[in-house]
Amino acid sequence: MHLLVVGMNHRTASLADREALALAPDAARGVLADALQRDPIREALVISTCNRTEFYLAADDPDGAATALRASVERIKGRDLLSPDPSIYRFDGTAAIRHAFRVACGLDSMVLGEAQILSQLKDAYTLARDAGAAGAMLDRLFESAFRAGKRARAETSIGAGVVSIASAACELARQGLQTLDTLRVVVVGAGETSRLAAKHLAHHCPGGVTIVNRTRSRAEALALELGITAKPLADLTDAMAIADLVVTATTAPTAVIGVEDVHSVMAARPDRPLLIIDLAVPRDVEPEVATITGVTLHSIDAIQTVVDRTLATRAGEVPRVEAIVDEEAAKYEAWRRGFEASPIVRDLRDHFERVRSEEVDRQLSNASAEERARAERLTKALVNRLLHLPTVRLKDADPASDEGGWRLRAARELFALDGGRADHGV
């Protein structure tokens, strides 16, 4: 079984390309269901955030799996989005394992060391598990990735300070508006990014934050948690009319704030500027809004300029986190080799146990119970000693390599472990 990762992120792809490939949970379930129907894919997981969409696969044939995934995505999205392109990357084997761990540790995030990616990975893993798409290989991969992510934040300062997409958005707002103390703010959406943004803004603008969401109950629950005001999405334009800052981060497939909406808002307040920060992928705000007089619109990519000025401490911790990645990757590789070899090891031990038992029965058919018990202990100990080194060597064999694959095949052939019966006679 081979592991591979196919995807794009903020380093390789434009915002428009990331929008095109982004998958809401229902669409992600659709890709998983379709992919599992296609050989040679055996397991699959998809993570789709504002900064990345990635597919983790376990398959018998990695090239065939990549082709099958491309067809599945095309079927769900309606167009070919994984054709060979510089924006699309692929990692195989050890590189795929290290990539998963680096993502979990925050080393591949727009905001170095961010903690939010770990919860996003857990959500993606839960979705794959619930869909029956994650099996032993991906189970162990992501359990190990979560451990690596927790270790990175506990053992290093990679997560030091408050540097997240939400906090960076607040810093960008402070730069644009000089002060946040007396501002009136509207936060659109009630997901994790919106919650974090609302939390940061509520701290700086006590009593001045309104949360707007399509599902009113979610907005009210968040408002109660943070001590802010909640309104339904139908009241968004009215809320924007008195706002100085709008931060939006919904999971809507199309824009929730259009040019006409903002035109009408600004017509009633020509002398008051409006700052809009759009953290959503796909974008919540139509790009043409940026052309309206008095409006400043920032997309999520603008956050990078803020983030770059806050990461000196975290950057110094990268070598220590990379060491954790290497250590956890080595542990996973050792487990994977053992997992791949375990059926052969089991069959080999069953074969030796069968021979041992038959010989004890044949040689000691008339022996006393005490003699038989002594012979059982002796022969079992002998078999265990004889098989110890072969077991270690088989579990250490990498089935993805020529030498490892040959070693595993040779064991099956030498001891007729594929259903044939070896000659036990002398």
Res 341: pLDDT: 63
Residues belonging to the active site? 50
> What token pair was written down for 420?
């044939």
Q: What is the mean pLDDT of residues 282-293?
A: 95
Note the pLDDT tens digit of each residue in 127-167.
999 999 999 999 999 999 999 999 999 999 998 865 677 77
Q: In what order do the strands lie in the sheet with 185-188?
A: 229-232, 209-213, 185-188, 245-248, 274-278, 295-298
Hey, CA dihedral for 105, 109, 113, 116, is it positive or negative? Answer: negative
What is the distance between the alpha carbons of residues 213 and 234, in angstroms, rounded to a whole number? 9
User: Which of 131, 129, 55, 40 is closest to 96 using CA atoms?
Assistant: 55
**How do the domains of the chain map onto residue ranges?**
2-155, 165-307, 331-414
* Dist CA 104 CA 99 (whole Å): 9
- What confidence score (pLDDT) does residue 400 get? 61
| Bridge partners of residue 209, in order along the sequence | 185
> pLDDT, tens digit, for every residue of 348-385?
777 777 888 888 888 888 888 888 888 888 888 887 88
CA–CA separation, 105 and 248 (whole Å): 26
Using CA atoms, how far apart are residues 26 and 65, in angstroms rounded to an integer?
22
Give CATH for domain 2-155: 3.30.460.30
pLDDT of residue 408 exceeding 90? no
Q: Which CATH number is 165-307 given?
A: 3.40.50.720
pTM comes to: 0.64
pLDDT band with cut points at 50, 70 and 90 for residue 419: low
- The confidence score (pLDDT) of residue 424 equals 45
For residue range 314-330, list pLDDT tens digits in order.
899 999 999 999 999 99
